[in-house]
Amino acid sequence: MVETYKRKQLNSDELAALVVMILGDLKAESVKSLDVGHLTALTDVMIIASGRSSRHVSSLSGALVQRCSAAGYRPIGVEGGRAGEWVLVDLVNVVIHIMLPKAREFYNLEALWDLQES
């Protein structure tokens, strides 16, 4: 008889913690995790990180996708990987933005999404 083992599914906070750990391992800069579940029905957690160059941003997103997929969390979408200025990785309950510092400063997603719960 063959036994099958089910991997424990992570909740949004646990998945976000995994993503933050992976980004830290990959030397992403200024990683910030925002709880946005009370602001939108689209996702629970938004993570914003910076890369040092467009090559670093692309490398961070590629490695993040690979490691999340290996852990059983395949993204439903990845946008912006070729340009390397801003890459969005959508893990459904956790959305990750990896950006060049100039794009991060210009769009200022932290100010847009880091609102206090009403």
CATH number at residue 71: 3.30.460.10
Q: Is residue 1 part of a domain?
A: no
Q: Is residue 6 part of a domain?
A: no
Q: In this structure, what are the phi and psi dihedrals at residue 97, rounded to the nearest 5 degrees?
A: -115, 120
Q: Which domain holds residue 20?
A: 12-113
Q: Is 44 exposed, middle or buried (0-12, 13-18, 19+ CB in 10 A)?
A: buried
pLDDT tens string 59-90: 999 999 999 999 889 999 999 877 789 999 99
Q: Is residue 98 part of a domain?
A: yes
Q: Sheet with 77-79: list strands edge to edge.
A: 29-35, 45-50, 94-99, 86-90, 77-79
Question: What is the arithmetic mean of pLDDT over 86-115?
Answer: 92
4: which 2 tokens? 């099958």
Q: Is residue 85 part of a domain?
A: yes
The number of distinct structural domains making up the chain is 1
pLDDT tens string 27-68: 999 999 999 988 888 899 999 999 999 999 999 999 999 999
Q: Closest by alpha carbon to 57, among 81, 31, 74, 30?
A: 81
pTM over 0.85: yes
